[in-house]
Amino acid sequence: MQGTLCKWTNYMSGWQQRWVVLDGSTLAYYLAATEVHQGCRGSFKVTSCDIHVHPTDHLRFDIVMPGGRQVLYLKASSTVERQQWVVALGTSKQEEEGNIGKLLGPSLDQQVAVRSKMAELQANCQLLFSQVSNMRSAAFSPSPDTESMQEVATLISHTCDKFLKILSECMLLSTASVRGVGTVPATPTDHSSPTSSFAPMKPLARVPHLLSDKPSPSPHPLILSFPISLPPFTTRLGNEEASPKSTDEQTHSLPVHLVATPHQVYW
């Protein structure tokens, strides 16, 4: 894509017309179309830039370099032309990042594709906000311009269709990335329970000193003593439920020690 756009130069000269060419993933600008053979005045890699649509100026869009080190301010001659440039830049960015992702492998390819879709989604979102703002201004003006409102309404419709399409693609990519498509799912180490994919917990070790009055040999233990006649409770070990006996069956009241160390807990 190529055409004449206005580029912000400085406060002395203001906006000046430049011949802008989008070739693949490279955006370059020249003083005029007749001076292309003399070399460009500046060029940028679209994949490393962010495209920002101005929220209030319906003709302007900015190309921001990584880290905001440099910004290319551009203006189109109409809202339709601006939308064409924004869509072309977003498509070029997506295609180039997709090619890079394929070279890096399936896993990174998916991540690059998600980031590319997110950037394209953000650009179209900003474009939609700007168009809605223009429609609001035109609708509440003292003398509404019906033709202008119709033009903006058409642009909003096209932008919404594009936005929803990109959003759907982004959601599909994100879902596939979360599920880990293309990877071998982990299998449980123990198949004793067909209803659970988790391996059953190991039974708690029997520690003789728990039922004695001697202190625990563990370093810096925390010992809590309480009678064995506790309220009924249920604890789940693996896939089975273990419940203590009722208080009627507990004829001998012995203290139970809860020993907690920095690394383990024993009952």
pLDDT per position as a tens digit, 45-70 = 888 888 888 888 889 999 988 777 78
Q: What is the pLDDT of residue 93?
A: 79
DSSP H/E element including 81: helix 79-104
Token digits for 43?
């060029």
Q: What is the CATH number of domain 2-179?
A: 2.30.29.30
Strands ordered across the beta sheet of 71-75? 42-45, 26-30, 14-23, 2-10, 71-75, 60-64, 50-53
Domain locations in the chain?
2-179, 208-266
pLDDT in tens, 87-106: 888 888 777 665 555 555 55
Q: What is the pLDDT of residue 30?
A: 92
Determine the Cα–Cα distance for residues 86 and 91; give it in Å rounded to an integer: 9
For residue 15, name the pLDDT band (cuts at 50, 70, 90).
very high
CB 7 within 8 A of CB 29: yes
pLDDT in tens, 30-47: 999 988 888 888 888 888
Q: What is the pLDDT of residue 3?
A: 93
Helix, strand and coil in the chain, % to nearest 5: 40, 25, 35
Query: Quick one: which of 98, 73, 94 has its CA closest to 14?
Result: 73
Q: What is the mean pLDDT of the chain?
A: 69
